[in-house]
Amino acid sequence: MQIETAYEPQRFEPHWAEWWIRSGIFHAAGKNSGAASRPVFSLVIPPPNVTGSLHIGHMLEHTEIDVTIRWHRMLGENTLWLPGTDHAGIATQMVVERHLAEQGILRRDLGREKFEERVWQWKAQYGDTIKRQMIRLGASCDWSRERFTLDPGLSAAVREVFVRLYEKGLIYRGEYMVNWCPRCQTAISDLEVTHADVQGHLWHIRYPVNGMPGRYLVVATTRPETMLGDTAVAINAKDSRYLDLHGKTVQLPLMDREIPIILDDLADPEFGSGAVKVTPAHDPNDFEAGRRHNLPKVKVIDELGRMTTEAGPYAGEDRFEARRRVVADLEAKSLIAKIEDYPMVVGKCSRCSTIVEPLISTQWFVRMKPLAEKAIDVVESGRIQFVPANWVKTYNEWMYNIRDWCISRQLWWGHRIPAWHCRECHEILVAREKPPSCSRCGSTHLEQDPDVLDTWFSSGLWPFSTLGWPAHTEDLATFYPTSLLITGFDILFFWVARMIMMGLEFMGEVPFRHVYIHGLVRDAERQKMSKTRGNTIDPLIVTEKYGTDAVRMTLLQGATPGNDIVLTEERMEGSRKFANKIWNAARFLFMRMQSAGVEPWLPESLAAFYPEASADTLEVPVEDRWIFSRLNSTAEQANRAIEQYRYHEVAQVLWQFFWHEFCDWYLELKKLRFRDENTGPNADWRNTLAAFETALRLLHPAMPFLTEELWKRLAAGRSDRPVSIALALYPQYRSSATDYAAEREIGILQDIVTMARNLRAESKLDPKQPVEGTLYSHGNALEIARKHAEAIHRMANVKLALETGSAPHSPVMRSTTEFDLVLQLPKAREEAQSRRKEKEREQLIKNIESSERQLSDEVFLAKAPAKVVETIRKKLEDYRAQLHKLNGSL
Ligand SMILES: [Zn+2]
Ligand SMILES: [Zn+2]
């Protein structure tokens, strides 16, 4: 029972982190392994990026997950938290590219195979960072089931899904306008484009109308270089200004190409001149218009952001350089009608901030509408519940307007698309493995599609691919559908929605029943944390400084559903003090036990949560009965709060219990009792230890390290106990365990002590100065005050005389429905108090006289606004009432 003087979490946290993993206590059992009868609770981790390291947002997410997971495990359920990481295509490729560039190595020089090797090497070296950090922070994952999205098993699942969707007609290859990042050299999804406000220009360009000398159509554009690829000019059929131009053509300046004037609603009579240029190869709306009118697509900008040979004299130039020259050349020909400043929004690559270029390219797509329909239904019908529920609206908005998903990426790191191109007949063969020959021409010249899949394609399969799908595994049968997903709102569409669609399509069942969406971690000024702002909090640094338990507790305290979390070091310091308080309570208990010659044992009542209320409770000291009753209420609140993802309430309830009930009251009362009954093992010890042990179990999901450390000391050497508090039962509420009589008795004692302390404080009495007072009981307070006279004396340093009835008026008095409490202040203090009151009385009398004078002054009354007069009247009443009260107390 040796216990160190100081609470030093750094001393024991790493030990338990390692021991938990080594002892295998977080391992979940499959259905056939004897766990069939136990309820199952399962959750898959939102897989962090393999290149990443843990940031405070992860720690918040993992703390919330861990509290829920540990709670279910302590409820006796077969509990799985499946961990793993995501290969994170573009993000990882960029990190490794940068890493290689520092050594002067370029990706393209290495070649695809060598580059992929380098990424795997990189993963082997750094890919475990997150895992090591998660273990250190106490995440109770089943690491024997760890997965990586590029594992052979998960890759097979990806190919299986691709082939099945293709065969069902839900995957197709098509020409499409995509967002292209010329820097990353890949198509990116709409969701990966960030939008920035910039001050741009609107150039108004004159296009000469053929056959009508001197007649021009003016078109306005923010990207003049794209005019080189114009294949039409559109006017609105209803625009009366241009009725005579129907069926005519214009001459495209600089390129000297004749292009038609078309009638299309793309032209808005209200905007600019009402005529617009049409560039089907470089604008998504023009692309659609081009389809409607069967226009050719002239591609003048290439994948590197340079002008193509189609751009004639501008070929080979960078797109922005070409813009300057096109404008200059148009000006030289007097074809610029005007230039306006124009605030506009540009799309940028969310990875590298390069301005995105809309380009046409051939990509692979998933047809989303048929998949989305079922995914909308399961949320509407409540088969999947979002917490907070208002996220359903955001989800639906996206799902009802869903567009086909471009799934191909021009990267090297990721799942290569399982499609092979025949070099002889250009047939495309989609298959799980490379086909031996072309099914159409028999050629063996087959080449796999160079593109890889969007990284969200594989993570969309995560809830079942990680459990062994497409094989019918025991894990899949045991843990799918998973119970809960905890994640951030920023990946609601990228990931959550796609998991729902894929789960329904391939498992015929939702992937999870509940989705809890957590907030962002912000700093004291409610600013988002970011490296550029320099306000980030590194979880590894603060856990080293304050202890993991304290940081976890602080995160939980801020985690109110639907809100962001404000995190500051001051709050962590507060939580460290809380942990320290518990440590000191344990020290006190352990030391008392030692000096009383008590062996380190756990009370017999461990298996039960607290003693049954029974006939012999009368022999149990009231403070014990009270603490068990309070534990019972705390258990009720804690269980409900965890169940409803109200993590802030979990923290608050446990904090309140441990600090303000167990330490401030229970232990203080116990100290008084131990002072008198320090005679060895007795019922008091048993109950105190049982209460402490129960409280540790209540706290364990929130503060796993401290509770394990103390619980293990209590359980030392007991072979009939679980090996870890993580496997002990979580205390449950029982209505029979509420002891109303004990709660009432201690409640009145608390009122007496608190009020006496408050009165002392208000009268600015030194805590060491003893005072006397009288308690006037109107109910049962008399008996209680008599029984606890010693406690009241020691806790409030006041000796009370006991009376029945009501107290006479006194300046130093407090009342409840049960009693009045009056303190007698020492003579000097009392005289000072009277002098102050006498002064107060004189002032009141002056005020009253002055108000009365005003109210009897008829001139004043006639002039003053009614409101003012009313105020004075009210004040006068107030002064009189105060004076009356004061006279009573003097
Ligand atoms: Zn980019
Ligand atoms: Zn062929």
Q: HEC profile for 222-255?
A: CCHHHHHHCCEEEECCCCHHHHHHCCCEEEECCC
Cα 93 to middle of ligand 2, angstroms: 33
Distance (angstroms) between ligand 2 centre and the Cα of 638 equals 66
Sheet holding 186-188, edge to edge: 186-188, 171-181, 357-366, 405-406
Instruction: Identify which of 828, 824, 800, 797 has the alpha carbon closest to the alpha carbon of residue 812.
Output: 824
CA 423–ligand 2 middle distance (angstroms): 7
Ligand 1: centre distance to CA 357 (Å): 11
- φ, ψ at 715 (rounded to 5°): -95, 5
Q: Which two tokens stand for residue 610?
A: 């607290």
Q: Which ligand is nearest to the CA of 442?
A: 2
- Please report which ligand is nearest the Cα atom of 439: 2
For the chain, what is the radius of gyration of the CA atoms?
38
The confidence score (pLDDT) of residue 346 equals 93
State how far the Cα of 883 lies from the Cα of 739, in Å rounded to an integer: 46
Distance CA 277, CA 462 (A): 45
Q: Which pairing describes strands 186-188 and 171-181: parallel, antiparallel, or unpaired?
A: antiparallel
| Cα 364 to middle of ligand 1, angstroms | 20
- What spacing in Å lies between the alpha carbon of 173 and ligand 2's midpoint? 18
Q: What pLDDT, in 10s, does the model give residues 77-117?
A: 999 999 999 998 888 888 888 888 899 988 888 999 999 99
- For residues 425 and 440, give the distance between their C-alpha atoms in angstroms, rounded to a whole number: 8
Tell me the DSSP string of 173-220: EEEEEEEEETTTTEEE-GGGEEEEEEEEEEEEEEEEBTTSTT-EEEEE
Q: Strand, coil or helix: what is 341?
A: strand
Tell me the per-residue pLDDT of 235-279, one tens digit each, with 9 for 90 and over: 999 999 999 999 999 999 999 999 999 999 999 988 888 999 999
Q: What is the pLDDT of residues 357-384, one digit of tens each?
A: 999 889 999 999 999 999 999 999 999 9
Q: Maximum CA pair distance of the chain?
A: 117
Q: What letter does residue 726 receive in the DSSP assignment?
A: G
CA of 175 to the centre of ligand 2 (A): 22
Cα(158) to centroid of ligand 2, in Å? 25
Measured in Å, residue 71 CA sits from the centre of ligand 1 at 43
Of 416, 411, 285, 305, the closest CA to residue 351 belongs to 411
Which ligand lies nearest the alpha carbon of 422? 2
Which residues make Cβ contacts (< 8 Å) with residue 661, sequence separation at least 6? Answer: 627, 630, 634
Closest by CA to 319, choosing from 205, 180, 220, is 180
pLDDT for position 260: 96
Confidence of residue 764 (pLDDT cuts 50, 70, 90): confident
Closest-lying ligand to the alpha carbon of 351? 1
- Asked if 66 and 138 touch (Cβ cutoff 8 Å), the reply is yes
Closest CA to 645 of 480, 463, 479, 484: 484
Per-residue CA distances from 540 to 67, 219, 550, 704 (Å): 19, 58, 12, 17
Distance CA 724, CA 23 (A): 9
Q: Work out the average pLDDT over 313-339.
A: 95
Q: In this structure, what DSSP letter does residue 492 have? A: I
Centroid of ligand 1 to alpha carbon of 105 (angstroms):
19
Question: Among candidates 748, 752, 746, which has minimal Cα distance to 773?
Answer: 752
* Beta-carbon-side half-sphere exposure of residue 12 (alpha carbons within 13 Å): 19
pLDDT, tens digit (0-9, with 9 covering 90-100), for 194-215: 999 999 999 999 999 999 999 9
Cβ atoms of residues 824 and 808 within 8 Å = no
Q: Are strands 771-777 and 428-430 parallel, antiparallel or unpaired?
A: unpaired
Average pLDDT of the residues in 789-812: 88
Residues 6+ apart with CB under 8 A from 58: 48, 130, 539
Between the CA of 287 and the centroid of ligand 1 the distance, in Å, is 23
pLDDT greater than 80 at residue 593: no
Report pLDDT for 760. 87
- How remote is the CA of residue 436 from the centroid of ligand 2, in Å? 11
pLDDT confidence bin for 863, thresholds 50/70/90: confident
Whether the pTM exceeds 0.85: the reply is no
C-alpha of residue 351 to centroid of ligand 1, in Å: 5
What's the Cα-to-Cα distance from 313 to each of 231, 319, 467, rounded to whole Å? 18, 13, 58
- Whether residue 673 has pLDDT greater than 90: no
Residue 421 CA, ligand 2 centroid: distance in Å: 8
Residue 132 φ/ψ, nearest 5 degrees: -60, -45
- Give per-residue pLDDT as tens, 27-67: 998 777 766 688 999 999 999 988 878 899 999 999 999 99
Q: Alpha carbon of 180 to those of 90, 351, 417, 806: distances in Å?
A: 13, 12, 19, 84
Q: Which ligand is nearest to the CA of 184?
A: 1
